[in-house]
Structure 1
Amino acid sequence: MDLAAIRAYAAAAQNATGAGSSNPLQGGEPSDRIDFGSMVMDAVGETEAAISTAENLTGQAATGQAELVDVVTAVAAAEVQLETVVAVRDQVIKAYQEILRMPI
């Protein structure tokens, strides 16, 4: 499993249990709170870096400077990260559409 996914799951679990934050109904400021937007931006940035690495290794393999195994591993890792980001995006859109269908 990829390190970015593990961090995202850990952050989501921490936010779900309320660890590290105070009760917002009591007027306290949350401490060490990770917002969803920054978590998504971090995941997108890491995915972009993985894709860039895979592209660089592909170019190096074409000139004989990189091993094919390294290229395949980098491309597979980038693909898994991209699929994870797309799956999260799809779930966010699905949740938003569900909210829009709620009666007022």
Structure 2
Amino acid sequence: MTLPSIAANAYQNAARLAGQGTSLKTEIKDPTTPNFGDMVKSAVEGVVEQGREADNKTVDMMNGKANVVDVVTAVSETEVALQTMVSVRDKVISAYEEIMRMSI
């Protein structure tokens, strides 16, 4: 598998997972309080969109239409966003595990 196809598969899987979150309904008592699921969904969609833009710039560079600096910048920004998302995911899982260990 080539790097663009691996990246495309990863973005497609992330988008599919984000789309599955739309069927989850939560009861919100205060309408001004943001929904956690919606926040996570929008963050994942943002990372997916950044990845698509980086892929498009990479393809444009291969076709001679983009600058190498722009491609490297886009890929680096996507990498930072993905690392941030993974870090937040790890913190959420850690918090969940901590809550599950609590005695009631």
Q: Shared fold by TM > 0.5?
A: yes
CA shift digits 1:51-86 (9 cap, x unpaired): 011011111111111000110111111111111111
Letter of the 1:79 partner, please give it.
E
Query: How many percent identity over aligned positions?
Result: 46
Unaligned 5+ residue runs, structure 2? 1-28
Alignment-derived partner of residue 69 in structure 2? 69
1:1-104 maps to which residues of 2 (within 5 A)? 29-104=29-104
Letter of the 1:37 partner, please give it.
G
Q: How many residues align?
A: 76
Letter of the 1:95 partner, please give it.
A
Q: Aligned partners of 1:92 and 1:30: how far apart in 2?
A: 23
Unaligned 5+ residue runs, structure 1? 1-28
Superposition CA RMSD, Å: 1.1
- The runs of at least 4 consecutive aligned structure 1 residues that moved more than 2 Å come to none
TM-score (norm 2): 0.69
The offset of 1:31, in angstroms, is 3.4
Structure of higher CA gyration radius: 1
